[in-house]
Amino acid sequence: MLDPCKRARKFRLTPSLIKRFENQVERAQRNLGGPHGDCWIWTGSKDKRKRPYGRIKSEGHTLLAHRVSYFYHYISDPFGFCVNHIHCDNTLCVNPSHLNLLKSIADNTKESDAKGRRKPLIGINHQNAKLTDDMVRNIRNDRKTGMTYFELAEKYNISYQYAQRVATRQVRKTVI
């Protein structure tokens, strides 16, 4: 799935977009107190992520609701930048005082890591993983007993290059 910044589209704030946006926002849903006020919860369409973001259509394109909110309230086009939730960390919040403009995807990733929102997908947790930790150990042991990379590749249904990288600990370094 693409990062929201990569999927960002240029858009225009039309009167119909503003009206539809306003009709799908429920203000003061969550009491945070403090100087930033309460969350404004998006009640319209949501995407299907584990932590969903609000969506709204405009001119045939799907836009993220918090990006529209930032543009609407700050009259600043966030195209090419990431809009981040800085105070509430609620993906459905569109309160402009809870949003911040970040310069790059790298900044967004650093912010996400700092808040503990991203779990690195390494080893068996990675969506493309073909080998379990036990299989990695077996590959390394089989290589020590003299199996070639081609034999390992055939046995474990992987490429010989990947078999070599696993056996020499260039990948899956966390497996002991």
Largest alpha-carbon pair distance within the chain? 72
β-strand 61-64 against 82-85: which pairing, if any?
Answer: unpaired
Mean pLDDT of the chain: 81
Q: Tell me which DSSP letter residue 128 carries.
A: T
**CATH architecture of the domain with range 15-114:** Alpha-Beta Complex (3.90)
> Which two tokens mark 63?
């836009």
Over residues 45-64, the mean pLDDT reads 85
Residue 32: which pLDDT band, with cuts at 50, 70 and 90? low
* pLDDT score, position 159: 92
* pLDDT score, position 137: 93
Q: Provide the residue ranges of all domains of the chain, joining segments of one domain with +.
A: 15-114, 123-167
β-strand 55-58 against 61-64: which pairing, if any?
Answer: antiparallel
β-strand 61-64 against 39-42: which pairing, if any?
Answer: unpaired
Residue type, 129: A
